[in-house]
């Protein structure tokens, strides 16, 4: 009986992990990619590598830009899961 009670109490903790489908994660990654590409577009040609899940509150991607001046920049793109706002960091390096 004690085991059954513990099982019932623990079961809801497992539900959030099962709530997202593969299709939902693919849709999330596409939304992050599209948002990051749009944010980077005025800066040059971008390649976006999306982190599979991000954090609990944000999506993240690495953005490699080829600027119109021919320079290559690396930036981080941050996607707010709640507001859908997208931000790019300043370039890494020099």
DSSP assignments along 34-80, one per residue: HHHHHHHGGGEEEEEEE-SS--SSEEEEEEEEEETTS-EEEEEEEEE
Residue 20: per-residue pLDDT: 80
Domain boundaries, the chain: 18-88
What's the pLDDT band for 93 if we cut at 50, 70, 90? confident
pLDDT in tens, 53-74: 999 999 999 999 999 899 999 9
What's the pLDDT band for 1 if we cut at 50, 70, 90? low
């Amino acid at each position: 009986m004690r085991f059954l009670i513990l099982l019932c109490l623990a079961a809801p903790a497992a539900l959030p992990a099962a709530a997202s489908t593969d299709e939902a994660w693919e849709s999330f990654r596409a939304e992050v990619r599209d948002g990051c590409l749009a944010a980077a577009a005025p800066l040059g040609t971008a390649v976006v590598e999306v982190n599979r899940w991000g954090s609990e509150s944000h999506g993240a991607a690495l953005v490699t830009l080829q600027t119109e001046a021919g320079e290559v920049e690396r930036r981080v793109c941050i996607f707010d899961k709640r507001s859908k706002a997208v931000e790019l960091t300043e370039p890494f390096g020099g």
